[in-house]
Amino acid sequence: MKKLLSVLLAAGMVFSVTACGASSESTASTETNTAEAASAETASTETASGEFTTVTDGVLTMSTNAAFPPYEMTTDSGDFEGIDVEIAGAIADKLGLELQVDDMDFDAALLAVQQGKSDMVMAGVTVTDERKAVMNFTDSYANGIQSVIVLEDSDIASIDDMQGKLIGTQAGTTGYIYCSDTPENGGFGEDNVIAYDNGITAVQALMNGQVDCVVIDNAPAQEFVKANPGLKILDTEYANEDYAIGVNKDNTALLDAINGALAELKADGTVDSIVAKYINTDSGDAASSTAE
């Protein structure tokens, strides 16, 4: 498959060169060249099965927010690692591309793909209807649960106890979106929710007494609680979600190519083994492995 894709990729390159040739010739004889260019274009779409474009030739640019362990984080030496980073690397390999990770705020990572500045956003992104309206999603590769982190001696023992409390979240995340919704819609009202730049800042605010709880995806919640004594996670889950990769609405060829690679990586156990490397599923951790 990898071979097939690179062959098709090479075919794609030939076609784009042809297209360029046609348009640069257009100074010579106008009419025929418009037709030539048009036919060159048709030719390149005809081979569309394996052909796609990326922001930078030969590179798969992934926008993310690398403050979300174990999905994406930075090592002490400044490298990127995590479940998403490794799956993205495996996808890039399959597509014959080099992975480039662009680290930014979570909102910015979602926006980058919509504006065509990145090829995909992979950041533990939950599939929602609102996001589906502005980007395409690949098949899901993991599940997430919105959990609630509290201080060990907190009087919050259930979701209901959160009414009227101050809730910390990460800006732009589903944790923020759900919590800031109206009580009729299962939220707690905007005034009761504070959005922080990233998850760990929200957890620090909890430890400093600035908020009463933090709502965040379970896998990073586990990591933050492990790293900071005095915190615990409520047993009840606030929401259950699917993670997928977001791709620009106009780039369905790339979406298909990523889906093809992802299906292979699920089928041959690569996705499972990457997840298992970072999450111990035996201990009841939330982010279970592959979806469907």
Q: What residues line the site for ligand ARG (CB under 6 A)?
A: 64-65, 67-68, 72, 106, 123-126, 144, 170, 173-174, 217
Angle at 228 between CA 223 and CA 234, to 5 degrees: 65
As measured in angstroms, the least distance from the Cβ of 269 to ligand ARG is 24
Distances, alpha carbon 84 to alpha carbons 127, 141, 244, in Å? 15, 10, 10
Residue 123 or residue 247: which is nearer to ligand ARG going by CB? 123
To ligand ARG, the closest distance from the beta carbon of 286 in angstroms equals: 11
CB of 16 to ligand ARG, least distance (A): 33
**In this complex, which beta carbon is closest to ligand ARG, that of residue 40 or of residue 179?**
179
Q: How far, in Å, CA of 163 to CA of 221, rounded? A: 21
Shortest Å, Cβ 54 to ligand ARG: 21
Q: Which is nearer to ligand ARG, 65 or 180 (CB)?
A: 65
Q: Closer CB to ligand ARG, residue 212 or residue 217?
A: 217
Q: How far apart are CA 51 and CA 45, in angstroms?
A: 8
Tokens 């926008």 locate to 63
CB of 85 closer than 8 Å to CB of 217: no
C-beta of 217: minimal distance to ligand ARG in Å? 5
Side-chain-facing half-sphere of 79: CA atoms under 13 Å: 6
Alpha-carbon gap, residue 17 to 135, rounded angstroms: 29
By beta-carbon proximity to ligand ARG, the closer residue of 144 and 260 is 144
Closest C-alpha among 2, 13, 6 to residue 94: 2
